Structure 1
Amino acid sequence: MSVDHRTVDQRWLADLRASLTDDFATQTARLRELTELNADTGDPSEAHNQAALLAATRRNIEQITGALSRITDGTYGACQKCGKNIPAERLEVLPHARFCVPCQEKHNR
């Protein structure tokens, strides 16, 4: 089953938007916390872990923001590479997915 990005269920989309908005708030708070805790302990591995957490949190925020933008402009559920509908199962697992699986595989190469 695919999500037809042109006729997607508006209630499902509203629920998704609310969920993504909550996730955005959570990730933003996490980023603020990680930034404020950016104390140098002198431990190189701790600095590396901190940098990795900051990068992952920023990436999560970018993905959530992108999904929210696609919902707003009506392109949510369409592959940004080929334009085909992204399967609903993929969007349930990865609500921020920008590509269908074949295009994602090509993108990762």
Structure 2
Amino acid sequence: MSIDIAATDPGRLAALRAALSEEFALQTARLKELTEITADTGDPGEAHNRAALLAVTRRSLEQITGALLRIAEGRYGRCETCGAPIPAARLEALPHARFCVPCQQRHDG
């Protein structure tokens, strides 16, 4: 089922914006915490894990920022490739989704 998010309840969009903003704040705090860790234990595995956590957190912040921007611009819930509405179930699972499933599959190659 596809929905036009622009035509849905404005309260739902406001709640989504609030949830994304809260997640943004949490991820920002996590990134700050990870970048402030200066203790080098000499364990290459620990350094690798920290680097991976930093990368994932930064990617999460990029995705949240993009979703908030699309909401502000009125483009949220539409596929960036074909312009079709992104199904509600996909947006519930991935609020930062930029593409419908067929376009995402083509994008991933």
Shorter-chain TM-score above 0.5: yes
Cα deviation, residue 77, structure 1:
0.2
In the alignment of these two chains, the number of paired residues is: 109
What pairs up with 1:54-69 in 2 under 5 angstroms? Answer: 54-69=54-69
Residue matched to 2:2: 2
Quick check: 1:97 aligned with 2:88?
no
Cα deviation, residue 43, structure 1:
0.8
Cα deviation, residue 95, structure 1:
0.3
Give, in whole Å, the separation in 2 of the partners of 1:29 and 1:91.
25
Quick check: 1:53 aligned with 2:53?
yes
What pairs up with 1:19-98 in 2 under 5 angstroms? Answer: 19-98=19-98
Kept after mapping to 2: 8 A contact 1:2/1:86: yes
Kept after mapping to 2: 8 A contact 1:38/1:50: no
TM-score by length of 1: 0.96
Alignment deviations for residues 37-62 of structure 1 (CA, whole Å, 9 cap, x no partner): 14321111111000000000000000
Unaligned 5+ runs, structure 2: none
Give, in whole Å, the separation in 2 of the partners of 1:25 and 1:42.
31
Give, in whole Å, the separation in 2 of the partners of 1:52 and 1:38.
16
Q: CA RMSD, aligned part only? A: 0.9
Alignment deviations for residues 7-38 of structure 1 (CA, whole Å, 9 cap, x no partner): 12201000000000000000000000000014
Unaligned 5+ runs, structure 1: none
